[in-house]
Structure 1
C-alpha cells in the first residue's frame, strides 16, 4: 500500500506533474490517501480519549470532503476539455512560430554582421524601370542584343561605290600621320583595305571601323613567310618583327 502524508497535514496529495494526467490517476491517488488515513486512524484512535477521537474523525471528514470536492471540480471542468485542447494547440503553434522567428532573426543578424560585410548591390537601372513602367517598353538595351538577333545585310554595289572613295581618303589620311616602320616598303590601299608588306617576311591587311583618326586598326588577315633556318644566307637577313608588332599595338 502506498504511504500517504501525515494525518495532521491539510495539504492535498502531491501528484506527478506531466503535460496531461488521466482522471483515473487522480481518483486512485485520492482513494489510496483516504484508505491510508483510515487505516492509520484505526490503529491510533483506540489509545485516545473519546473527545480526541471525535476531533480526529471530524478533521478526517473535512479533509476527505475537500479532496473529493476538488476532484469533482476537475471532473466538471473536464467536460470543456475540448476547448482547452484547442487553445493548447493554438498556443503550441504560436510558440513554435515565435521560436522560428527568433531563429530566423538570429541567422539574419549573423549574416549581416559577419558574412555580408563586404557584399555590395549593383546600381539599379532606374531609367529603364521608369520607361518600362510608363511606356511599357525599354529603349536602352545594348546594341549587342540587336546585333545577335538581326541578320547581317551586306552593302549593295551602289552603296559600295559611294563609300569606297570616302574610305580611301580616310585611310590615306591615317597612313599620312602614322609613323610606319622603315622595314615596311610596300603599302597599298584597295577596296577599303590597307596592305602592309615586308618582302620575304610577312603581309598584313588592316582596316578601320570609324572615321576617327585616332581609332585602333583592325587586323583582317596576316600572312607569314617562313624559311628554313638552316638555309644558306638565312642568318644574315635583317628581321623586323619587333618593330612591326609595336606599330600594330
Structure 2
C-alpha cells in the first residue's frame, strides 16, 4: 500500500476517478477526491471530497505539504491540461508519487469520416462552410466558435457562457447517451458535421456511431501531450495495482 499515512489524493471529475475512489474506499484506503467545481451538481465519489482549485502548482504543493497524503492519482479529464501540469510540477517538488490515469482515446471504425485537428481554433476553421454544426466540446472554450455563422447545436451539463455563435441552440444533458437518441438528435437538427474532443470512453461515444451511420463527418481535437516522466495507466484496475504496490521505482509510460 502507499507510503506515509496511506491516504490517496485523487484528482477527479471523471467516471474513472469515481470508480477508483470507490474501489480504494472499499479496500479501507482513505481517499480525498478533488473536483474542480466547474459543474453545478457533480456526481460525487465515495470518501472525502474537496471542491475547488488549488491555486496552480504552488498551491497544490502547499496543500500536499499541509495534508498527510501518501500518493496522488491524476484521473482528471484528458483535456484538463492545467491540472495535469500542476500535478506533475507539484509532485516533483514535494516528492509525492504521482500516477496519471487516463482512458484510451477513440479508435476509428470502417465508415467513419474523422478529420483531426490540434486545437479548438483549428476545429472552428475546419467547419467553415457547413450549415449545421453539433458542438460537443464541453462549455469551456466555446468562444473559439463564436465567429461561426452556421446553425450550431451546443450540448453541455450546465448552461454555457458567452461568447457563443450567433445562431446557437443549447441542449443541457449529462451522458451516457444512446445511439438511438444521438441519431434522433442529429436528424432533428439536420446536423451535417460534429465537433468533439478525443475524450474517449463510452459515456459520449454513441454520437460517433450515430454520425457514422448517418454519414456525418466528425472533427476531432487531438489530446494534448502529457508531462514527461509521469507513469500512465489506462484502467482503474491498473491504478489500483499501482496504489497497492506502494513506494518504490515507478517507471513512466512515454
TM-score, normalisation: structure 2: 0.17
Higher relative contact order (CA 8 A, sep 6+): 2
Task: Name the structure where helix makes up a greater proportion of residues.
Answer: 1
Which has the greater radius of gyration? 1
